[in-house]
Amino acid sequence: MNTSPSRCRHLHRIAAGVLATVALATVCRAAAIEPLASIRQAAQRFVAAQMPTGEVGIVVRAARLDSRVRLARCAGPLAASLLSGSQLQSNDTVAVRCRRGAHWTIYVPVRVQARLRLWALRAPEPQGARLTPADLAPVTRLVSGMVAGYVTDLAVLAHSTLREPLPAGALLETRDLRQDFVVRHGQRVTLVAAIDGIRVHASGVALEDGRYGELIRVENRSSHKVLQGTVGSGHVVYVTP
């Protein structure tokens, strides 16, 4: 084999050219891959755009994608959508698509949470307890979903009691509270009906106990007709003629 200095220099030049070509090809291949971060961001932006106007404290997180995923770089902006016919849930899946320069779809799990100021019990409370603001301590928590069902307005405490006993530290939820009875069986109430846009008032009698918002039977004192109506505040029952 010819190992003269000129021959070696020639081989070095060829080897350098091959290595440069391989390195360039590697860089080009890497540049042609869609970054996983951009896919996750597209899913998060889509979900964030679905939030109601004025919502604050909403946190949207897309799941980390498998690092082995290799998708061709998209020549245009990524498109995102929910699965056909579905409505946004606290834990959902977003389809991220490329339709320019490449054609692919990847499904990204996304979680929606809300940072809320909630209320926790300072001490254990028995069933039927009527809580006051002093019985609760404010806490800030990240909870799943936008409407989590937690009590945020303590005004409801004045007209409700606990359905079940709760331990210290429990976060107070609306389902933990039972509304007080607004009317009692045999009590006189005001019947309110809307007829052709006009509100008509009449005197009535409650035929059963009723909490705010519940449907009860009432009797019109003038006609003695039995009706059903929804209990409102101030001993008012809204009936349908």
Nearest to 74 by CA among 28, 110, 38: 38
Tell me, what CATH number does 135's domain have? 3.90.1210.10
- Give domain status of residue 45, yes or no: yes
CA 240 – CA 218 distance, rounded (Å): 11
- Give domain status of residue 198, yes or no: yes
- Give domain status of residue 4, yes or no: no
Residues of the chain where predicted confidence (pLDDT) is lower than 70: 1-31, 53-55, 84-85, 145-148
CA 43 – CA 82 distance, rounded (Å): 9
Same structural domain for residues 42 and 99? yes
Total number of domains constituting the chain: 3
CA 109 – CA 38 distance, rounded (Å): 14
Q: How much is the pLDDT for 4? A: 54
Same structural domain for residues 102 and 153? no
Same structural domain for residues 96 and 109? yes
Nearest to 32 by CA among 40, 22, 24: 24
- Give domain status of residue 149, yes or no: yes
CA 128 – CA 178 distance, rounded (Å): 9
Same structural domain for residues 130 and 195? no
Tell me, what CATH number does 196's domain have? 2.30.30.760
- Give domain status of residue 197, yes or no: yes
Same structural domain for residues 196 and 163? no
Q: How much is the pLDDT for 116? A: 81
- Give domain status of residue 11, yes or no: no
- Give domain status of residue 54, yes or no: yes
Same structural domain for residues 171 and 123? yes
Domain boundary among 153, 178, 203: 178
Range(s) of the domain holding residue 125: 114-178
User: Could you read off the pLDDT of 163-201 as tens digits, one per residue?
Assistant: 999 999 999 999 999 988 989 999 999 999 988 778 899
Same structural domain for residues 125 and 139? yes
Q: How much is the pLDDT for 8? A: 45
- Give domain status of residue 28, yes or no: no
